[in-house]
């Protein structure tokens, strides 16, 4: 017979938790038999003393077992993508229809933004009529018909993670690689896709600031996936500069549509294609060239069907902010740097993000990067446009942007977008 105190003590003293201890404590916490303060103590013990790969895999399995799993019966391979979050990271929007147009099925259960990182559901909800909540049956039907679905996770998937995530957020135990990895992978494995590609962001605008931390998280994620019989790989990608030019909800939808129509910023196109290639390789479709499919317009056709299937109108006008404020260059030169975190915080303060999960967001708020590192500007040229429905928010955004970009005589060469790849 286990008790919460015994499990807490074991991890507090640096011991490895047994499979039985892990199974019991996760199930008991989900039922409400282990109190929040006890789970907080255990989370802190894990934060301080860690878990090995086997413990983390078992912890993940216990969280999966706390709820239901999706049964995806489709006649093509299923593959998903998960990003650890960044600034201007709208890649799911063009990527899901692109991979579907290439012959795979993409079940993408996504989340909302918190703080300076945007949420895929918030972006899509700026499309008139689009709805995030689907039943298991609706997810399966859309996947079979369209080949791609982007929606909110159903209530039954990994309820232990939902409880534990909220607890970690208020107890200072978020930054634990075993807890981060098990949180991500419990939902993704419960989702039921055959394969998963992880986009682990690295840099000022990412959760993981250094390449070493990003590699450690990527390795932990891949190890869990392999332990659960999934095809998994991880790309470590740069998030020191905002991705693309648009940061916000409707702004990022518009940019994603540009990409699907054959245009859009080069970095968004490059990362979309790189992730698509990796997903197609894991799905056994490596002979398909996603760059050609993107250029052909077939991915845009899937996008239209995907949006309509969830009640949205892909032809509708997107919301436009009532107030736009320009941030201008003070001298001639080349934009030498632009801090992703500062731009993300500015977008958040303008109304594009939220401080708490229950907060509303403005569909039209955000930042447009009119110039990016490496691009030449003249004194008085607009570098950033601040979009908001609440002009009083501009001062806070400007404070966040103090020193966020520099203009110099020359700009240093920017490094590669994809820093490393880790495969299982």
- Distance, in Å, from the CA atom of 305 to the CA atom of 25, rounded to the nearest integer, reads 43
Cβ neighbours for 192, distance < 8 A, ≥ 6 positions apart: 69, 70, 71, 72, 78, 107
Nearest by Cα to 123 from 148, 91, 95: 91
Nearest by Cα to 63 from 190, 166, 175: 190
SS3 333: strand
- Distance, in Å, from the CA atom of 17 to the CA atom of 12, rounded to the nearest integer, reads 10
The vertex-404 CA angle with 333 and 201, nearest 5°, equals 110
Task: Answer yes or no: are the C-beta atoms of 365 and 250 closer than 8 Å.
Answer: no
Please give the positions annotated as active site. 82, 161, 168, 183, 187
The strand pair at 382-388 and 246-248 is best described as unpaired
Token readout for 172 is 């200072």
Token readout for 386 is 């601040």
User: What is the rounded (10 degree) CA torsion for 293, 295, 296, 299?
Assistant: 60
Nearest by Cα to 17 from 41, 44, 40, 49: 49
- Distance, in Å, from the CA atom of 356 to the CA atom of 144, rounded to the nearest integer, reads 35
Token readout for 267 is 């970095």
């Amino acid at each position: 017979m286990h008790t919460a105190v015994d499990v807490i003590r074991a991890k507090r003293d640096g011991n490895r938790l047994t499979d039985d201890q892990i199974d019991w404590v996760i199930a008991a916490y989900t039922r409400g038999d282990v109190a929040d303060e006890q789970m907080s103590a255990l989370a802190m013990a894990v934060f301080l003393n860690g878990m090995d790969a086997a413990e983390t895999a078992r912890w993940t399995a216990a969280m999966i077992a706390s709820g239901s799993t999706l049964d995806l019966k489709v006649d093509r391979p299923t593959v998903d993508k998960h990003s650890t979050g960044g600034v201007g990271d709208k890649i799911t929007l063009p990527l899901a229809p692109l991979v579907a147009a290439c012959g795979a099925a993409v079940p993408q259960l996504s989340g909302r933004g918190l703080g300076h990182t945007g949420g895929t559901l918030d972006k899509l909800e700026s499309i008139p009529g689009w709805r995030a909540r689907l039943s298991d049956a609706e997810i399966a039907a859309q996947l079979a018909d369209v080949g791609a679905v982007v929606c909110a996770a159903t209530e039954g998937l990994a309820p232990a993670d939902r409880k534990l995530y909220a607890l970690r957020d208020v107890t200072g135990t978020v930054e634990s690689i075993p807890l981060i990895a098990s949180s991500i992978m419990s939902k993704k494995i419960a989702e039921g896709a055959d394969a998963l590609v992880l986009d682990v962001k690295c840099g000022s605008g990412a959760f993981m600031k250094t390449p070493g931390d990003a590699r450690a998280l990527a390795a932990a994620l891949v190890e869990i996936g392999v332990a659960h019989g999934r095809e998994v790989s991880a790309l470590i990608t740069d998030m020191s500069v905002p991705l693309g030019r648009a940061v916000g909800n409707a702004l990022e939808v518009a940019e994603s549509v540009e990409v699907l129509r054959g245009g859009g910023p080069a970095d968004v196109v490059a990362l979309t294609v790189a992730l698509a290639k990796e997903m197609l390789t894991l799905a056994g479709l490596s002979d398909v060239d996603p760059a050609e499919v993107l250029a052909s317009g077939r991915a845009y056709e899937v996008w239209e069907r995907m949006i309509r299937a969830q009640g949205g109108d892909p032809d509708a006008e997107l919301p436009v902010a009532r107030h736009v404020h320009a941030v201008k260059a003070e001298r001639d030169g080349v934009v030498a740097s632009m801090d992703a975190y500062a731009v993300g915080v500015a977008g958040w303060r303008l109304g594009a993000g939220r401080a708490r999960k229950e907060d509303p967001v403005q569909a039209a708020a955000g930042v447009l990067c009119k110039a990016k590192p490496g691009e030449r500007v003249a004194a008085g040229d607009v570098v950033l446009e601040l979009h908001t429905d609440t002009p009083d928010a501009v001062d806070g955004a400007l404070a966040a942007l103090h020193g966020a970009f520099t203009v110099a005589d020359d700009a240093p060469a920017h490094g590669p977008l994809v820093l490393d790849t880790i495969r299982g």
